[in-house]
Chain A
């Protein structure tokens, strides 16, 4: 109890001492080129306090508690939609965002389904959820015809049993894994029907014993170091793992594939909380990020596609030219999106997830 009071006191202190020339950004881990943070401070003279998370759920808890103290946060589209309903964000003042002209219509149209008219948010990055594979180890475990482009790889128990020896990590995010499991059994991945969602339970429970860990950020290093051979994770993270392994020159070769059955496409949106201490500086940060050069620097570093048309001419060939990052038409057809769960369905989903993770 005492700690609750102490942290409340600390929060209120933090709220009152936020200075006019300070901006607090809460973004995903491993999601920016650090040089941009310094560049922002140099250009604007605003102090940047940069903090990271690795779960939409944790972010949402902080936002719904109110008084998070952050000026810019980066929820995924589905979560953003629900948070807009809850009144978490303030509308953007596009007059302060001249760089918004750089945004890409194709992505803007898609994100408008979560945030009509993009009134509250701008797209930061987007990507897919799929399979990161350590080729050598998976071939060793499953043979040369291992289904590395299929959900069979991680949802078929006989495959998982063999892969368990070299290690498999899953995202600790039910909103990513359950749609994939639905896709695997031929159901609508965007289903919000509890009875349909319940059908994934036997699928997930059957492979649960073979999952090394459910975690949403550790798999980058684990994959790069060769500690695990398969990760079911986010595209850019897996490509970062590929890059780190190549840099370390440790003989680990990683590939990313969006499963052929279909892959989840998601959009991470930058938004400003309604109670942001410094909305002025928050707009400055958003405008800085939407600069074509800056956005290209970010994408070149994290290997995620962005929603910025202007940045495309500055992107490295191994980013813009890679269909794992900027999918071609054929892959694009195969991508699906999901919608948020209401509280009753949410309880079913999270309960199922607890069961899957604990094995009971």
Chain B
């Protein structure tokens, strides 16, 4: 292997090692430690000045107690399942909202498309936190939505949306919608319009043409969009903690509680390691799908 090729491969691997592997190993190491009242709040810490004996003592101090603890308490698997459920449902809902928007954008006249694209991206110019906060102003009991509905006489008592799972779904769908729209739009935009014409000429109705031609051809975009929504939604912390009540169990929130309220860094790290392992599965699936799509594209 020549020098240049080695360098070319080394760069991404060095990047991965530095920004993924090293932090992961640090977290894993803390996950195997015990809590302590000290700075930092866990023990043992690696003391290289102790020489070989110090390193040996360090490894002897590590155990899987915290991972065993995660299996003993129902809170953790309930939270993992809660996160999976919320992520899955919001992905489907985001798809249902996002697909028609992407479709309409792709159908729009050429001169309109950049503007529409702009409108989808525009909210990103404001801080994510502010946008989530502003939803509180909309859906709170005294918020805009309830005041409007009550003003119109549609409801008598305010709808309790705030601090419920519905609020979390609204927050996630709103926040991740662009991640769903953009890949679907780019798939639909490339679609050759003559294929639809051909389908209609050959006796398909409009609906059947959509179902049998457009939808299958936009599949790569749909899959990419779903993964882009599902993966971050699974570990979401900000949205459930601002909009959800204490009944909404999500693993990101449990992780925060372990870290900040319980000050139990080892258990918090164990939760993080398990979360990462759970996330690796969809990421690998996504990767496989991308590879397949690339091969098909050749």
Asked if B246 and A350 sit within 8 Å, CB to CB, the answer is: no
How far is A87 from B37 in the complex, measured between Cα atoms in Å? 9
Those of B216-264 within 8 Å (CB) of chain A:
245-247, 249, 254, 257, 259-264
In chain B, what residue has the closest Cβ to A174? B261
Asked if B37 and A343 sit within 8 Å, CB to CB, the answer is: yes
Asked if B40 and A359 sit within 8 Å, CB to CB, the answer is: no
The answer to whether the Cβ of A86 comes within 8 Å of any Cβ in the partner chain is: yes
Asked if B261 and A1 sit within 8 Å, CB to CB, the answer is: no
The answer to whether the Cβ of B19 comes within 8 Å of any Cβ in the partner chain is: yes
The answer to whether the Cβ of B163 comes within 8 Å of any Cβ in the partner chain is: yes
How far is A85 from B35 in the complex, measured between Cα atoms in Å? 14
Min Cβ gap B259→A in Å is 7
* Known contacts A1-B20, A2-B19, A353-B261, A360 near B249 by CB under 8 Å: yes
Among the stretches A30-38, A58-66, A91-99, the one at the interface with B is A58-66
Min Cβ gap B116→A in Å is 31
Across the interface, which residues of A come within 8 angstroms of B38, CB to CB?
Answer: 64, 86-87
The answer to whether the Cβ of A358 comes within 8 Å of any Cβ in the partner chain is: yes
Min Cβ gap A174→B in Å is 8
* Known contacts A57-B263, A60-B263, A86 near B246 by CB under 8 Å: no
Across the interface, which residues of A come within 8 angstroms of B23, CB to CB?
Answer: 1, 4-5
How far is A65 from B265 in the complex, measured between Cα atoms in Å? 10
How far is A124 from B177 in the complex, measured between Cα atoms in Å? 48
The answer to whether the Cβ of A326 comes within 8 Å of any Cβ in the partner chain is: no
Q: Which of B41, B163, B261, B262 contacts A213 (CB 8 A)?
A: B163
Across the interface, which residues of B come within 8 angstroms of A214, CB to CB?
Answer: 246
Of A87, A347, A358, chain B has the most CB atoms within 10 Å of the CB of: A358
Across the interface, which residues of B come within 8 angstroms of A258, CB to CB?
Answer: none
Across the interface, which residues of A come within 8 angstroms of B201, CB to CB?
Answer: none
The answer to whether the Cβ of B1 comes within 8 Å of any Cβ in the partner chain is: no
In chain B, what residue has the closest Cβ to A82? B37
Asked if A64 and B78 sit within 8 Å, CB to CB, the answer is: no
Q: Which of A65, A85, A346, A359 contacts B262 (CB 8 A)?
A: A346
Across the interface, which residues of B come within 8 angstroms of A55, CB to CB?
Answer: 260-261
In chain A, what residue has the closest Cβ to B254? A354
B-side interface residues toward A, CB under 8 Å?
19-20, 23-24, 35-41, 73-75, 78, 163, 245-247, 249, 254, 257, 259-264
> Which 9 interchain pairs have the tightest Cβ spacing?
A350-B262, A64-B41, A357-B246, A66-B39, A1-B23, A86-B37, A57-B261, A343-B35, A61-B260
